[in-house]
């Protein structure tokens, strides 16, 4: 397989949880736990990409590779593109974006999304999904849905309940009769060459309507491979409640990383 580089974008500022990457989880900053999980994958390199010296300083005792990036990137993907350029990565190098607020992410999912991209030379991006089994999740606009073709490539991403079951929903909108619905998991693998193109594009109309960044790539004709996650993807930390839940789960595991 091509070289795989994991990049963990970590911004200090957060509207809900300021300094989120440095929140203490049983004696370690959250970003360190994410980094360690990534290091358990088959990646050849793991880089923490941050806009703040405080995060960089926190990771130095771990001898982690850290890159201080520009502060004004509009998205994590733009931050990845900067890292890919500064590292001088070949166009075919696979870059996996692991969010800095996912201290429970399984290394197996990192490997899976990288392999999925490596297996499809025509795809520029790979990502993951899991089945939706209840109507509350399906109709929740905060849950992103994805529809795939026969070859596992994304047809569309939406906050709406797609596909729409015209017959069943007209009779029983509170019941799911098939396993046709998939929840998108926000773990991405990119080809470094694609990232160099992406930063020059303006947001697309559908992206602006749905507020889904991956639609920009599809707007420009790039293929996205979508694999069914090989194991459960634990939710990340967006709120104080999420943070307390993660602390409890890690304590129950005996502090395991």
Q: What is the CATH number of the domain that holds 120?
A: 3.90.550.10
pLDDT at 149: 94
Residue 214's φ and ψ, nearest 5 degrees, are -65, -20
Quote the CA–CA distance of 202 and 200 in Å, as a whole number: 7
| pLDDT per residue as tens, the chain (257 positions) | 679 999 999 888 776 778 889 888 888 999 999 999 999 999 999 999 998 999 999 999 999 999 998 888 777 788 899 999 999 999 999 999 999 889 999 999 999 999 999 999 999 999 999 999 888 888 899 999 999 999 999 999 999 998 887 766 655 556 566 668 899 999 999 999 999 999 899 989 999 999 999 999 999 999 999 999 999 888 888 788 888 888 888 887 766 54
Burial label, 108 (beta-carbon count in 10 A; 0-12, 13-18, 19+): middle
One-character DSSP codes across 123-177: EEEEEEEEE--SHHHHT-TTSPEEEE-TTSBEEEEESS--S--HHHHHH-TT---
Residue 144 structure tokens? 């992103």
Residues contacting residue 167 through CB under 8 Å, at least 6 positions apart: none
| Number of domains within the chain | 1
Residue 178 structure tokens? 């098939």
How far, rounded to the nearest angstrom, does the alpha carbon of residue 78 sit from its chain's CA centroid?
14
Check: CB of residue 97 under 8 Å from CB of residue 185: no
Residues contacting residue 6 through CB under 8 Å, at least 6 positions apart: 38, 41, 43, 45, 46, 47, 95, 96, 98, 110
pLDDT at 175: 58
Quote the CA–CA distance of 58 and 56 in Å, as a whole number: 5
pLDDT at 246: 85
pLDDT (tens digit per residue) in 181-235: 899 999 999 999 999 999 899 989 999 999 999 999 999 999 999 999 999 888 8
Quote the CA–CA distance of 27 and 204 in Å, as a whole number: 43
pLDDT at 223: 97
Quote the CA–CA distance of 136 and 139 in Å, as a whole number: 5
Quote the CA–CA distance of 45 and 4 in Å, as a whole number: 7
pTM of the model: 0.90
Domain range enclosing 43: 4-255
pLDDT at 87: 94
One-character DSSP codes across 194-254: HHHHHTTPPPPHHHHHHT-THHHHHHTT-EEEEEEPSS-------SHHHHHHHHHHHHHTT
């Amino acid at each position: 397989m091509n070289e795989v580089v994991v990049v963990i974008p970590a911004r200090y500022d957060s509207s809900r949880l300021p300094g989120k990457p440095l929140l203490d989880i049983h004696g370690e900053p959250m970003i360190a736990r994410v980094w360690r999980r990534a290091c358990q994958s088959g990646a050849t390199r793991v880089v923490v990409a941050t806009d703040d010296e405080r995060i960089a300083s926190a990771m130095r005792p771990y001898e982690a590779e850290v890159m201080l990036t520009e502060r004004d990137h509009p998205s994590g993907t733009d931050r990845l593109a900067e890292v890919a350029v500064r590292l001088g990565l070949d166009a075919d190098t696979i870059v996996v974006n692991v969010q800095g607020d996912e201290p429970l992410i399984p290394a197996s999912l990192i490997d899976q999304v990288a392999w999925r991209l490596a297996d499809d030379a025509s795809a520029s991006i790979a990502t993951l999904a899991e089945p939706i089994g209840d109507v509350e999740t399906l109709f929740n606009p905060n849950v992103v849905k994805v529809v795939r073709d026969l070859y596992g490539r994304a047809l569309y991403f939406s906050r709406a309940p797609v596909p729409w079951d015209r017959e069943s929903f007209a009779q029983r909108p509170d019941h799911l009769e098939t396993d046709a619905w998939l929840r998108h998991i926000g773990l991405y693998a990119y080809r470094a060459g694609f990232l160099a193109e992406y930063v020059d594009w303006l947001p697309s109309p559908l992206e602006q309507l749905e507020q889904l960044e991956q639609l920009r790539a599809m707007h420009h004709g790039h293929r996205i491979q979508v694999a069914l996650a090989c194991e459960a993807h634990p939710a990340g930390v967006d709120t104080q409640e999420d943070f307390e839940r993660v602390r409890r789960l890690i304590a129950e595991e005996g502090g395991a990383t």
